[in-house]
Structure 1
Amino acid sequence: MGQKPGRLNTFVAPKPNRFLIRLMTPVNRVLMLKGFPLLRDLPLLNRVAGIRGIANVRQIDFPDADRERLAAVCGKGRATFLTPNHPEFFTDWMIDKEIVSKVAPLTASWATNGVVNGLGRLAQKFWLANNLIAQIPGNSDSARRHSVDWAVKGNGVLLHPEGAVGWHGDWIAPLMPGAAEMAIAALEQGRAADPGFQAWVAPVVWKLVFLHDADAGLQAECAYVEQRLRIENAARHASPAERVYAIYEALLARDEEKAGVIADRSQPVARRPETLIAKLSERLASQIGAADLSSNSELQRAARRWLRTSDESRDDTAAQAVKVSADMLQRLCRLGPFAWASETMTQEQAAEHIKRVRNDYCLGTFRDTLNRFVPQPVGPRRAIIRVPEPIAVHDCGGDAEALTAELRRRLQSALDDINADLRKAGGPRGYPNPFFQV
């Protein structure tokens, strides 16, 4: 008989506690986001995360028109899947909770099984009472069925169609089709009882901008990363953008050396990874016997499935080799065209680059582990929240691929509009972008 899965990989349906959910709303708003008025501005106290707000989001710009647009597609007789972008870890659920508290407080939210199930039994009970749905890698059927049933009852379901955080707040990554597929399934289930039943996919975007010049904080975090990864300190007058570029160049050179690729360090970082990625992809496909996969993302998913699958004939050395190849390939693919698309790197983008490096390369210490779960911003911020026109699944047919493509278009368009408004207002602050390629 096969070994039973442990708590981490066992789906347990959420048991939402209305009182706890209502109680956590102001706690989230003050402790996690905005901080305590007056105290958060006092010297020394403004450095304590729990006083200044752990995510340090002082202002929330969520216009009534956008809130009402979202509220209009939530409620009885409708299955609504809320699909925010995913630019930052930890802050994601805090802002998402603030959004749903305004329109659909009993919304169920998808989260990784490591958060819901992986922090002990008491933590699991707490998260399930807060209506979090554990996503079990490689076995999401139970979570999907529960989501559809919950949505059909007139409650919202929130999930991030980009999947894992990529730390790119101005670019929407290719989306996974889960929200569209569940909306289609919910529509079919709802209309079996009510011919007028509706299903919606509701895009939501939020963007974080610094309230003040964050250069000093960015310089300090760059210095920490350089010291932690033993990278030569930047030139005295280097900008955070230049320091980020130098960090990535040094890390790329190390990965090239490990993989046996002869590096041409005169080439820009934007062009150099191609040879290394091709070599790693070929090696990983050979290691797991998946030479017919067409993309690196498919190959990475196949590698994760391979590592999860138990095989008594497989030795630890083979598994470790696959993990090393898969991890390196994933890190390399996380820096994409969004990095070199513009002549300017904003301070927010520089902050995202640094957080991505810390998440991917700074490992092993308590400080690093804490940063992965609760990354700290270098200054106070404003969250700009917008709701593009929701997608009426009941009017669009059952094509999940087309729905997903339209969802991505609406998310990106809304982000572009936010950035256009910021530029008209004279912001955001930035630097010449060393990654930029004509």
Structure 2
Amino acid sequence: MGEKPGRLNTFVAPKPNRLLIKLMTPVNRVLMLKGLPLLRDVPVLNRIAGVRGIANVRQIDFPDTDRARLAGVCGRDKATFLTPNHPEFFTDWMIDKEIVSKVAPLTASWATNGVVNGLGRFAQKFWLANNLIAQIPGNSDSARQYSVDWAVKGHGVLLHPEGAVGWHGDWVAPLMPGAAEMAIAALAQGCAADPAFQSWIAPVVWKLVLLHDADAGLRTECAYVARRLRIETVGRGATPAERVYAIYEALLARDEEKAGVAVDRSKPVAERLDALIAQLSRRVAGEIGSDASPGSADMLRAVRRWLRGSDAGMDNGKAQAVKANADMLQRLCRLGPFAWASPAMTQEQAAEHIKRIRNDYCSGTFRDTLNRFVPQPVGPRQAIIRVPEPIAVHDFGGDAEALTAELRRRLQGALDDINVDLARAGGLRSYPNPFVKD
């Protein structure tokens, strides 16, 4: 008989507490997002995360028209799956909670099992009372069924179709089909009792914009990361964009050396990155017998399934080698074409790059661990929230794959519209992008 899974990998159905959820809304708004009025602007005091707002989101731009559009597809006789983009960790749930507090307070939200189950029994009870659904890797059937049942009751379910945070606020990564599959299942379940039952997928996008020039803060954070990773810093006059680029280039050279690939710094980073991803993918695919596309999400999922499987334990040395290559592959794949899509790198994009590097490469100290769970922004920000037209699953006619493709189109389109408006208003500070010059 196999061992019983521990708390981390055991699904426990949420037990939403209406009073707790209601009480947490103003706590989230003040302590987590906006900070304490007046005190948040007092020098020295404004360095305390709880005073200035842990996520330091001073302003929230959520127009009434967008709020009404979202509220219109939430409620009785309809199942609604809210699907925000996923540009930042920790701030994600704080902004998501602010959104649902306006339209569907009892919405259930998906989260990793490490958050819901991995922080102790008391924390688990707290998260379950807040209606968080633990995603158990390799065993999501219970979470899916709870989600479908809860959505059919008219309360709403929120999940990030991009999956893990990618730290790229202007680009929507390829989506996973879970939201579409559950929306289709909820439609079938609801229509069994009421043929007029509706099922909706509601895309939501939010973008974080720095309110002030954050050049000094970005330079300081880049210097810290360079020291932690023992990377030679660039010249004193280098921009944060150049510093981010130098760190990434040095890390790529290290990974090339580890993988036994010749380091040719005369070639563009994008070309070197693609070549290394292709080579590692071939190695991993050969070990696990996968024919998935190099560096694709399917490839990484195949590796995780293989490592969880019993066959992986038959040769511990082989499993360790596959895991090491897969970990490197996963880190490399988190830097993509979005990095060199524009000749300019905004301060927001530079901040995202450095947070991604800290998350993926910096570990071993309390400060690094804390940053992974509660990353601190370099300055006060505004959250711009928009709701594209929701997808009426009951009228769509396509399968889960088509629904997922349409969802990504609407998410990316809404983000692009936000950026067009920001560019027109001249509200973004930027640097020449070294990834393009490279």
Name the TM-score, length of structure 1 as normaliser.
0.98
Q: What's the CA shift string for 1:272-306, capped at 9, x where partnerless?
A: 1122112111111222232x223422221111112
Deviation for aligned residue 1:319: 2.4
CA shift, 1:404, in A, is: 0.7
| Aligned counterparts of 2:307 and 2:23: Cα–Cα separation in 1 | 40
Deviation for aligned residue 1:81: 0.2
Query: 2:393 maps to what in 1?
Result: 393
SS of 1:272's equivalent in the other structure is: helix
- 1:319 equivalent in structure 2: 319
| Corresponding residue for residue 113 of structure 2 | 113
Structure 1 CA distance for aligned equivalents of residues 274 and 209 of structure 2: 32
Aligned to 1:227: 227
Pair 1:160–1:313, CA change in 2 (3 A)? closer
Q: What is the letter of the counterpart of residue 288 of structure 1?
A: I
The question of 1:148 aligning with 2:177 is answered no
Match of 1:343 in 2: 343
For 2:174 and 2:294, the matched residues in 1 are separated by: 13
Map of 2:8 onto structure 1? 8
2:355 is matched with 355
| 1:133 corresponds to 2:139 | no
- Once residues 293 and 343 of structure 2 are traced to their aligned partners in structure 1, the CA distance between those partners, rounded to angstroms, is 32
DSSP 3-state at the match of 2:378: coil
Match of 1:428 in 2: 428
Q: Which runs of 5 or more structure 1 residues have no equivalent in the other structure? A: none
Structure 2, unmatched stretches of 5+, are none
Amino acid at match of 2:84: P
Q: Is the 8 A contact 1:270 1:437 kept in 2?
A: no
Q: Cα distance, 1:315 vs. partner?
A: 4.0
What is aligned with 1:293? 292
* Equivalent in the alignment of 1:241: 241
- Residue type of the partner of 2:69? R
Written as runs of structure 1 = structure 2, the 5 A alignment for 1:149-188 is: 149-188=149-188
Q: How far apart are the structure 2 equivalents of 1:316 and 1:47?
A: 47
**Is the Cα contact below 8 Å between 1:176 and 1:404 reproduced in 2?**
yes
Q: Name the CA distance, whole Å, in 2 between partners of 1:313 and 1:230.
A: 35
Q: How far apart in 1 are the matches of 2:126 and 2:320?
A: 34
In 2, Cα distance between equivalents of 1:182 and 1:313: 33
Paired with 1:424 and 1:20, the residues of 2 have a C-alpha distance of: 42
Describe the SS at the equivalent of 1:133. strand
Which whole-Å deviations, capped at 9, do the CAs of 1:152-175 have from their partners, x for residues lacking one?
Answer: 001100000000000000000111
Range moving further from structure 2, 168-177 or 428-437: 428-437
Specify whether residues 210 and 88 from structure 1 end up closer, same or farther in structure 2 by C-alpha distance, changes over 3 A only: same
- Contact 1:341/1:437 (<8 A) preserved: no
In structure 1, the residue matched to 2:270 is 270
Q: CA deviation at 1:321?
A: 1.4
1:203 paired residue number: 203
CA–CA distance in structure 1, aligned partners of residues 128 and 397 of structure 2 = 33
Instruction: Please name the residue that 1:404 is paired with.
Output: 404
1:348-380 residue CA offsets vs partner (Å, 9 max, x unmatched) = 000000000000000111111110111000100
Q: Is the 8 A contact 1:340 1:437 kept in 2?
A: no
Check conservation: 2:281, 2:294, Cα contact below 8 A.
no
Aligned equivalent of 2:79: 79
Q: Which residue matches 1:124?
A: 124
Give the CA deviation at 1:270: 1.5
For the residues of structure 2 that align with 1:78 and 1:198, how far apart are their CA atoms? 5
Indicate if the aligned counterparts of 2:86 and 2:166 stay in contact, CA closer than 8 A.
yes
Counterpart contact for 1:184–1:398, Cα < 8 Å: no
Partner SS for 1:436: helix
Q: Give, as a single letter, the amino acid of the residue that structure 1 aligns with 2:390.
A: P
Letter in 1 for 2:322: V
SS at match of 1:364: coil
Offset of residue 252 of structure 1: 0.4
Give, as a single letter, the amino acid of the residue that structure 2 aligns with 1:294.
S
How many angstroms apart in 2 are the aligned matches of 1:73 and 1:278? 43
Q: Which moved more, 1:427-436 or 1:88-97?
A: 427-436
Taking structure 2 as the reference length, the TM-score comes to 0.98
Q: Take 2:309 and 2:61, find their aligned partners in 1: how far apart are those partners?
A: 45
Residue equivalent to 2:367: 367
Confirm whether residue 217 of structure 1 aligns to residue 213 of structure 2.
no
Kindly provide the amino acid, as one letter, of the partner of residue 54 in structure 2. Answer: I
**Corresponding letter in the other structure for 1:293:** A
Instruction: Work out the CA distance in 2 between the residues paired with 1:315 and 1:118.
Output: 28
Q: 1:381–1:312: structure 2 CA closer, same or farther, 3 Å change rule?
A: closer
Quick one: structure 1 residues 313 and 429, their matched pair in 2 at CA, closer, same or farther if it must change by over 3 Å?
Answer: closer
TM-aligned CA deviation for residue 420 of structure 1: 0.6
Distance 1:200 1:329, change over 3 A: same
Residue 215 of structure 2 aligns with an amino acid whose one-letter code is D
| Aligned residue-pair number | 437
> Equivalents in 2 of 1:229, 1:173: separation in Å?
27
State the alpha-carbon separation in 2 of the partners of residues 338 and 125 from structure 1.
39
RMSD over aligned Cα, in angstroms?
1.2
> Partners in 1 of 2:309 and 2:16 — Cα distance?
32
